[in-house]
Amino acid sequence: MAGIYIHIPFCKQACYYCNFHFSTLLSYKEKLVAAIAKELFLRKESLAGQTIDSIYFGGGTPSLLSEKEFYIIYEAIVENYAISALKEFTFEANPDDLSDTFLNWLKHTPVDRLSIGIQSFEDAHLKFMNRAHTAKEAYESVQKAKQIGINRISIDLIYGIPGMEMQTWESNLANAFSLEIDHLSSYCLTLEPNTVFGKLAKKDKMILPLEENSSSQFERLQNLSEAAGFVQYEISNFGKPNAFALHNTNYWKNESYLGVGPGAHSFFPGQRMWNISNNQQYILSIEKNELPLETENLSIADQFNEYVMTGLRTMWGIDLALIEKRFGIEKSTQLKKDLAKHIASGKLLAKENVMLLSKDGKFFADGIASDAFIVNP
């Protein structure tokens, strides 16, 4: 199975924390949509012989697409890829775009899952992050989507916001769970170098909360989501049983996916690719039938490290039998030695030839993974 990711690189305004590729200049949106459709044709051999089980429209802000623009891209997918076994079609949207009219046409498309970028139910936080919607719009967008018949809904929330009290974070989670969504993605606010927040931090004009405060909010997220019937199937992702995000799960399990659009990344066994993060150059290249992408062939060490890193983030952990099959018994034996101290500390669990993080161990995922990496093979 494989997935297709479509990157829509447009936003109404720049969120101060966002490090994804986007533009607020919408005047050439029609040309870029045509280029995305053409790239889908140019790269159709990438997934030849493979069945597509997930499609994901992300960004940027896919909800800035018109109905016509959406169908130009969708029809290019239908014409060039095998999607008869499609199990999930996710569409990202911002609350302020989800009018009754928009939701009504979306309901009649093949989209069956909506991912809404709420980030917070607090107006002060939304203003601080330069989000385009209000807390009222955030809450009502989910209600309206459900009323119109879109029931597979995920929302995003951010914790670790400067000045956020635990009570406020608990209120955010209570609001989310009261909407009876089936999936939640929640991330700690980070300061990426080329963002507004990152630049402010460089000038010492922005300071994140102490790590212990963010860790406490993460722990509360774990406990309250579990009490609400969610499963933490990946460190930042929580789903009701049978509502895990298929597209992202395939990513964490190292399945193939094709990324289309400026800034989009692709992954195939042993190989990673990414498109140029410049809309105008992307359009010009595609118009000349040239693919504006770079390719990295992954070494055995890269593949091993990536499997360990992504596997440890999930509830499925890392399979020692799979490691032995793909990388050899020596790598499996060495991995056990490298991670033995984490098993002894209780941060890592060993169950039936599988290693996975304990609830407490999820706080230390990156450090534990790095202890197992192959360095300078």
CA 37 from centroid of its chain's CA atoms: 22
Tell me how far apart the alpha carbons of residues 242 and 202 are, in angstroms, rounded to a whole number.
Answer: 43
**Cα angle for residues 33, 39, 44 (degrees, 5° grid):** 135
Which token pair is 261? 């659009």
Residue 314 carries which DSSP code?
B
**pLDDT score, position 377:** 58
Burial 240-259 (b: 16+ CB within 10 A, else e): beebbbbbbbbbbebbbbbb
Question: What is the Cα gyration radius of the chain?
Answer: 21
- Say if CB 94 and CB 45 are below 8 A apart: no
**pLDDT score, position 125:** 97
- Rounded to two decimals, the pTM is 0.95
Per-residue pLDDT of the chain (377 residues; tens, 9 = 90+): 899 999 999 999 999 999 999 999 888 999 999 999 999 999 999 999 898 999 999 999 999 999 999 999 999 999 999 999 999 999 999 999 999 999 999 999 999 999 999 999 999 999 999 999 999 999 999 999 999 999 999 999 999 999 999 999 999 999 999 999 999 999 999 999 999 999 999 999 998 898 999 999 999 999 999 999 999 999 999 999 999 999 999 999 999 999 999 999 999 999 999 999 999 999 999 999 999 999 999 999 999 999 999 999 999 999 999 999 999 999 999 999 999 999 999 999 998 899 999 999 998 999 999 999 998 65
% helix, strand, coil for the chain, step of 5:
45, 20, 35
At what angle are helices 329-345 and 365-372 packed, to 10 degrees?
140
Return the residue matching tokens 């949207």.
93
Name all domains of the chain by residue range, CATH numbers in brackets.
2-251 (3.20.20.70), 301-372 (1.10.10.920)
Nearest to 191 by CA among 132, 248, 238, 129: 129
Nearest to 1 by CA among 43, 53, 78, 61: 53
Say which amino acid occupies 236.
S
Tell me how far apart the alpha carbons of residues 93 and 5 are, in angstroms, rounded to a whole number.
Answer: 15
Write the CB contacts of 107 (distance below 8 Å, at least 6 apart in sequence): 148, 149, 150
Q: Does 60 sit behind a cis peptide bond, omega within 30 degrees of 0 on the bond before it?
A: yes
Distance in angstroms between the alpha carbons of the first and the last residue of the chain: 31
At what angle are helices 211-227 and 166-178 packed, to 10 degrees?
30
Q: Provide φ and ψ at 314, rounded to 5°.
A: -110, 165
- Say if CB 30 and CB 285 are below 8 A apart: no
Q: Alpha helices, DSSP H only, in the chain?
A: 29-42, 67-80, 100-107, 123-128, 135-147, 166-178, 196-202, 211-227, 246-252, 279-287, 300-312, 320-327, 329-345, 365-372
Return the residue matching tokens 């964490």.
252
* Residues composing the chain: 377
Tell me how far apart the alpha carbons of residues 334 and 307 are, in angstroms, rounded to a whole number.
Answer: 15
Tell me how far apart the alpha carbons of residues 3 and 314 are, in angstroms, rounded to a whole number.
Answer: 19
* CA torsion angle 216 220 223 227 (round to 10): 170
Say which amino acid occupies 231.
V
**pLDDT score, position 1:** 85
